[in-house]
Structure 1
Amino acid sequence: MRVLAISPTAGLAGIDQTFRALCLGLAEKGHHVVAVLPPEAKIAPQLNFGGVQVTRSSYLKWWFNPGFSDDNIGYCLDRSRESIDFLVRLIRRTNPDVIVSNTSVFLDGYFASRITGRPHIGHIHALFVDNIYTTMSGEFKESIYRLLASGGGHIVVPAQSLRESLSELGLGGSVSVVHNGVDIKRFSPSVARRSADGIFRILQLGHFNDNKNQMMLPDVAMDMLRRGCAGFQFALVGPSEPQYYDALHEKIMRNDLAKYFDLRKQVDDPLDCLGSSDIYVNTSTTETFPVSLLEAQACGLPVVATPTIGAREIIRDGEDGYLVASASEMAAKLCELMSDRPKVEDMGKRARANIEARFSSRVYVDEFEKVLERAATQSQQPDDRWMREVFFRVPSRRERVRVAVIVPDRSQTSFALLVEKPFDQFRREDKGFEYTVYDLSELHKIKLEEVELVYVLRIYTAPVIEIVRGAKALGIPVAFETDDNYFALQFHNGEPSHGQFENQDLADLISLADRTAVYSAAMRDAAVEHCDRVEVFRPYQLLPAEKPRYKATSVIGFMGSLKKDVDFEFVIPALQRILAEDPNVSLEFFGFVPAEFERNERVVSHPFNPDYDQFISFFRSRQWAVALAPLADTEFNRSKTNNKYREYAAAGFPGVYSDVETYRNYVKHEVTGCLAPNDEEGWYRAIRTVLYNEDLAKRIVCAAYDDIARSFSFEDHCINKKGLIYQLVNERRARADIRSMSQKTVWSVPTPLSLRSSLDLDGKDFVAAAFSGLAGMVAGVSTIPMMDFADGDGVIGAEIVVNNEIAAQSVIPLNHVKNRSFLRLSFGKRIEVEGTDNVEIRIFTRGATSRISLAGAARLSGIRRRIVPAIGLELSDEC
């Protein structure tokens, strides 16, 4: 069975872990699984390791964030067009038997399934609850569930009580219960390493927020102390909503509880915390089926939890944990367990048995597989016509897209792979796509007024930055792409130095760019220090016409750029030993040659050919028994891609790779390559293992080729890169429309504002643009550049006011707003106005005194031009 599984999340939360377990479990059972994930998804390397084909998409978005209202639906539908279009094309290419959409991306998956006529399963992890989604009407919530079940759609929920709730809507026949599962091999009591200091450690994992309700635990701790319990410590671990985290920390300090709490905002692996804890607590207000409870019980920890939906179905009260309704009850149960260690051990064993019997990942995958098989047997009819009318604007004539591409040197391999090949593909797909390449000597030829996008590859010198500043002054978007981290590498007299360096030119270019595209999480982390508009692209690999076959020889080879001395320090002595031991062995180098081998008669070297196609053809004609990929564990190298793994696999060379993050996340040891520790003995043994084991080498060649063919698609890379380019171009065109239509605007503001002005809003004042003479339907999105703000408990919002009555409103909590970010407030609701109506677009705050500094312009965009002209709200010193 072919399964397309879609998830919009990028972290390591419970919904990510269940998605990972499902994909890996299905792949292990022989199903072909294609997983669609955001570019920065942390579970992607694990899925690749497990034989799952991973496709990245920057279009996937959450539909229903807290604060979502009925009025937001129009904006979300508009925003999802690109995502749905991407999924439709992917479905037609991969031909899945069934589609599974995880969490709130399910509407994109559902719409794409309806268009293509494929069975669809929406995996809903929780219902829209009133204490979170208070701005959504009950009727709207119910309509979403009914939509998912329409047209033969299926719904999977993790808890029986959710099925009962949906059955009340008449959807019972479309809903299946599949409890979440946990990997009982990885999460087991054997990981436990209790400390010897006698401290009773109590753990809770999860986001710091109102719903997780960690604010209850200081009350629990004070109650425990009043009961005479001491010698305990709560460990609270998870990503934080800053305002909630700070308030919790303040409450702990105010009550002198610092030594009883260990607050950590994140850990790489929950096993580290679970293994050193005695008991697990959960204080959530709502929780459908928390994976963290399953992981805790699998590790042999009793759980004391509030009686949420999930806790009631997981915990057997009094056997493997306790359900408590208040801080006082939780304190009583924790004190009881602290005083009875044998009971803790006994409940822990029962907890483990509970997971093995009911909630293992094997049970989870088996049950989900049954639902997939039922869904796949039900034929669906494509419903392309009406869905395309609703979701896609298909223009009869595409306007030309003109791009100026700035590169350091046309002879570099990065130019051929990152610009020439994908951009030529864009031109083949779209006759209106034009691009012109300029190197450093040709910058004077660029006519900015004739282009719609400046695309910069890897270069950040002062002349390039001046071109970028000129483009920005004209409102032309700029994209910057780099596959290396030059915050971690410098050259002195031509020699490289690894470390952490200040690179002001690179920082300036990233801060100016509308988007920066990188290829690793490490480089993303470096780039976001200067701008948060960073996307992680997935590299691709071009494949030969025929699958390569391994040919046994005695040649050891390396292909790489110059200045690789730091990477070869531990390999050179290993190669010298092998050459001394075996006179039949020879070495072959492309590009870099270590000085120790330059005059060795058993060493052959080749310079790089700047023509990539000629070079790669000659490179793949070599007959290497072992291909080397040493990489020192430096900050610069951690930002690199797994290029040599892909090139060696495509050429049919079995590779030996440094056991560092760059390769460790992709290479399976002695399956798709060999990983070697970065020391002489480690490399010596690894090279000999491959060199003198022909059967192993053949298996590596076959498995590595299959892996890169599955995981590093040129088409997927082009889809993401083209999406970034067209998004920037379309945004520019929308801004141009707004500027051209805004001249007739009449301004009404409470105080004069400059281009960089601070405005104190206390819940009564607002900034407004007033209009008259409009007739038709008004809708759109307000984008406010936030340069500074004062955190508060209130909200910032925008609203459409007709004749002094609020007709549409959109708000965002202030604690969700990032400094120096673009705040988007959407109106999905269309408002009908007549020519005699007075219309205002207002920006306001509610509930707290806040200081908002607006830089440049705040404007309403996204107006449906076929209905009314676009409206622009400009804040300037001319107001």
Structure 2
Amino acid sequence: MTRIVHVVESFGAGTLSMVLAVANRQVADGFAVHVIHSVREETPANWRELFDARVQMTQLPMTRAISPLGDFKAGRLLVNTLKQLQPDVVHLHSSKAGALGRIASLVYRGPRWFFSPHGLSFLQRAEGRWKNNVFLLIEKLLARAPVTFVACSPGEAEQIRANLGPHVVEVHNAVDFNAIPVATGSSDGVVRIGTVGRVTLARNPELFAQIAAALGKPGQVEFVWIGGGDAEGEVALRAAGVNVCGWVPRDDALARMARLDIYIQTSRWEGMPVAVLEAMAAGLPVVATDVIGNRDLVRDGLNGYLAQTAADFTARLALLAADVHARKALGEHARQFVATHYSLDVMMASLYGAYGVVVEPKVHDPKVIPHAGAQ
């Protein structure tokens, strides 16, 4: 039996959604799966219940911030844990686990190594050019490790090839439609516009607040942020009249998303946003910033709109808020688009191809041809 280990420090929001979907599908397909993870503020309290009972879990104290001593200890623990598990495949997720894991790959050479950035650190243009250049230098050094990049979008793959090297495969993010409730919209006549995720620099809560302050009208148009995070960002949002609900269980977050009328994504940068995929799968029209990841999903005027400034957002949102038929038409196109191109089946086939593993057909699978002598 092929043994697969996922390593993730960013154990929340979209990264958790992807690791959860992949790990659960892999054990259902007959693989032995182990997840090495940390716990963040945004990690749901019931995280263990979300995973299939057959998925083995090991908590390892990795931190988001750079900590030379702490990172050294975490890296040593990671190597020791992997040596005990003896996996065939190790799949790293997001920046910190990606850095620690790629260094570990130089020490522990047994498995096949893969790394999903879920958003490249050196594209974080809000951090400033100098800091981004530092991130790029670090990534160039780490790219020498024997690890294959797994790009979650065409735009991310292009950036990896241009800046870090040719060892990259594309496995686009996906959603499990069975887990996404269909959007019903608000039931009280108020048009609700919102987003799901961490309040953080990457998600640009300041832009969200600017849009909400310009367009929000109590009892008519209201803005919602499903999630929590940076205190400064939350203050800015609330000052603009945004309802910041804080962290809630995943099922609750999806249910709240389904009660929105329009979904917006004000990201400064992305890989391929799982929250946007989930919103589109729910049948919501999406208005998103014109950045890598968002532009891979949103087809301007067909399943949503791309925007570059607060004025772009407010103009698009004002039109959609006033036209329920346009919202429904865009939302239906969004749902069909994700169903066609970003289903879990499509993603898993690509991922297994990248791993170089084969899913054994199940005995009860109707596609399995019986032995010639079977009755």
TM-score higher than 0.5 here? Answer: yes
Q: 2:247 aligns with which of 259, 266, 290?
A: 266
Instruction: Report the AA paired with residue 186 of structure 1.
Output: A
The answer to whether the Cα contact below 8 Å between 2:237 and 2:244 also exists between their aligned partners in 1 is no
User: In 1, Cα distance between the equivalents of 2:107 and 2:164?
Assistant: 25
Note the alpha carbon deviations across 1:555-590, whole angstroms, 9 max, x for none. Answer: xxxxxxxxxxxxxxxxxxxxxxxxxxxxxxxxxxxx
Number of aligned positions between the proteins: 347
| Corresponding residue of 1:160 | 154
RMSD between superposed Cα atoms in Å: 2.6
1:39 Cα deviation from its structure 2 partner: 5.9
- Structure 1 residues 266-275 or 16-25, which shifts more? 266-275
User: In 2, Cα distance between the equivalents of 1:199 and 1:137?
Assistant: 41
1:365 Cα deviation from its structure 2 partner: 2.1
Return 5+ residue gaps in structure 1 as ranges. 69-74, 253-257, 375-879
1:178 Cα deviation from its structure 2 partner: 1.5
- Indicate the SS of the match to 2:263: strand
- Indicate the SS of the match to 1:114: helix
Note the alpha carbon deviations across 1:373-396, whole angstroms, 9 max, x for none. Answer: 17xxxxxxxxxxxxxxxxxxxxxx
Residue correspondence of structure 1 range 13-24 to structure 2 within 5 A: 13-24=13-24
1:370 Cα deviation from its structure 2 partner: 1.4
1:233 aligns with 2:222: yes
| Corresponding residue of 1:8 | 9
The answer to whether the Cα contact below 8 Å between 1:88 and 1:112 also exists between their aligned partners in 2 is yes
- Indicate the SS of the match to 1:239: coil
User: In 1, Cα distance between the equivalents of 2:135 and 2:185?
Assistant: 46
User: In 1, Cα distance between the equivalents of 2:118 and 2:212?
Assistant: 31
- Residues 338 and 79 of structure 1: CA distance in aligned 2, closer, same or farther (over 3 Å): closer
Instruction: Report the AA paired with residue 57 of structure 1.
Output: L
Q: 2:195 aligns with which of 204, 220, 228?
A: 204
- Indicate the SS of the match to 1:121: strand
Residue correspondence of structure 1 range 637-676 to structure 2 within 5 A: none
Higher normalized contact order (CA 8 Å, seq sep 6+, divided by chain length): 2
- Indicate the SS of the match to 2:104: helix
Instruction: Report the AA paired with residue 220 of structure 1.
Output: I
1:246 Cα deviation from its structure 2 partner: 1.6
Note the alpha carbon deviations across 1:633-667, whole angstroms, 9 max, x for none. Answer: xxxxxxxxxxxxxxxxxxxxxxxxxxxxxxxxxxx
1:86 Cα deviation from its structure 2 partner: 2.1
User: In 2, Cα distance between the equivalents of 1:229 and 1:327?
Assistant: 20
- Indicate the SS of the match to 1:245: helix
Note the alpha carbon deviations across 1:783-811, whole angstroms, 9 max, x for none. Answer: xxxxxxxxxxxxxxxxxxxxxxxxxxxxx
Note the alpha carbon deviations across 1:338-372, whole angstroms, 9 max, x for none. Answer: 23222211211111111111112222222122111
| Corresponding residue of 1:372 | 355
1:300 aligns with 2:302: no
- Indicate the SS of the match to 2:204: coil
| Corresponding residue of 2:102 | 110
Instruction: Report the AA paired with residue 231 of structure 1.
Output: Q
1:175 aligns with 2:142: no
| Corresponding residue of 1:79 | 70
Instruction: Report the AA paired with residue 63 of structure 2.
Output: K
Structure of greater Rg: 1
- Residues 133 and 183 of structure 1: CA distance in aligned 2, closer, same or farther (over 3 Å): farther
User: In 1, Cα distance between the equivalents of 2:264 and 2:172?
Assistant: 20
Give % identity.
25
| Corresponding residue of 2:178 | 185
Instruction: Report the AA paired with residue 87 of structure 2.
Output: P
1:214 aligns with 2:174: no
| Corresponding residue of 1:276 | 259
The answer to whether the Cα contact below 8 Å between 1:200 and 1:232 also exists between their aligned partners in 2 is yes
User: In 1, Cα distance between the equivalents of 2:349 and 2:146?
Assistant: 22
Higher helix residue share: 2
User: In 2, Cα distance between the equivalents of 1:166 and 1:221?
Assistant: 35
1:216 Cα deviation from its structure 2 partner: 2.6
State the TM-score, normalizing by the size of structure 1.
Answer: 0.37
| Corresponding residue of 2:63 | 61
The answer to whether the Cα contact below 8 Å between 1:194 and 1:276 also exists between their aligned partners in 2 is yes
1:306 Cα deviation from its structure 2 partner: 1.4
- Indicate the SS of the match to 2:126: coil
Note the alpha carbon deviations across 1:812-854, whole angstroms, 9 max, x for none. Answer: xxxxxxxxxxxxxxxxxxxxxxxxxxxxxxxxxxxxxxxxxxx
1:315 aligns with 2:298: yes
1:284 Cα deviation from its structure 2 partner: 1.7
The answer to whether the Cα contact below 8 Å between 2:205 and 2:236 also exists between their aligned partners in 1 is no
| Corresponding residue of 2:185 | 194
The answer to whether the Cα contact below 8 Å between 2:181 and 2:255 also exists between their aligned partners in 1 is no
1:249 aligns with 2:238: yes
User: In 2, Cα distance between the equivalents of 1:352 and 1:248?
Assistant: 29
- Residues 357 and 210 of structure 1: CA distance in aligned 2, closer, same or farther (over 3 Å): same
- Indicate the SS of the match to 2:193: strand
The answer to whether the Cα contact below 8 Å between 1:26 and 1:369 also exists between their aligned partners in 2 is no
Residue correspondence of structure 1 range 356-395 to structure 2 within 5 A: 356-373=339-356
- Residues 323 and 30 of structure 1: CA distance in aligned 2, closer, same or farther (over 3 Å): same
User: In 2, Cα distance between the equivalents of 1:328 and 1:133?
Assistant: 24
Note the alpha carbon deviations across 1:461-500, whole angstroms, 9 max, x for none. Answer: xxxxxxxxxxxxxxxxxxxxxxxxxxxxxxxxxxxxxxxx
